[in-house]
Structure 1
Amino acid sequence: MTFSIRDFIIISYREISYREKKKGMVKMILSEEQLKALRRAKGEMNITIIALAEEIGVSRFSLSRALKGQSIASTNAKVINNWLIKQLLDKQ
């Protein structure tokens, strides 16, 4: 299944699912499509989680949780999603 950048943006924003509110912070889980794209980018770049986290602009702990499918802060989910979109746009 292939997606256009427009499809990816729509899917990714719809599929970020709200998990819980904890101390006023919204936690989110990345969609399966986002996880696949993130894992693929990490593999293609052949870098560690620490290096990828620095590249994206989130902590290694947040990126590690995201890659495991665990909840992360909504701000981190948005930063990761924006980075993924930028990577898709750069490829086109």
Structure 2
Amino acid sequence: MARVAFVDVDDTLVRSVGTKRIPMVRTIEHVRTLKNDGWGLYCWSAGGGEYARQSAEELGIADCFVGFLPKPNLMIDDLRPDEWRGFSILHPSNLQNS
């Protein structure tokens, strides 16, 4: 079975303080590790797919992603995500130091 992950931008890949954008290094390293391990990665953001792509390019990891998407406003599925087999939510603060 293919492993697929969706990675958010704001406060996951990059933190904004005023007009300054601060890369979240542990998350970026984790994205590279997932890519190297064969995961299909999608970068998404409430700011839209183009914003997600531009952010990944800015961080030097655009090549890690299969695609760039807006975050969904609706999900139609017979199961809630917490009922999906093998599904996890990983908060950036829980990533291990490399």
More helix by share: 1
Report which of the two has the higher share of strand.
2
Length-normalised TM-score, structure 2? 0.31
Q: Which has the larger radius of gyration?
A: 2
TM-score if structure 1 supplies the norm length?
Answer: 0.32
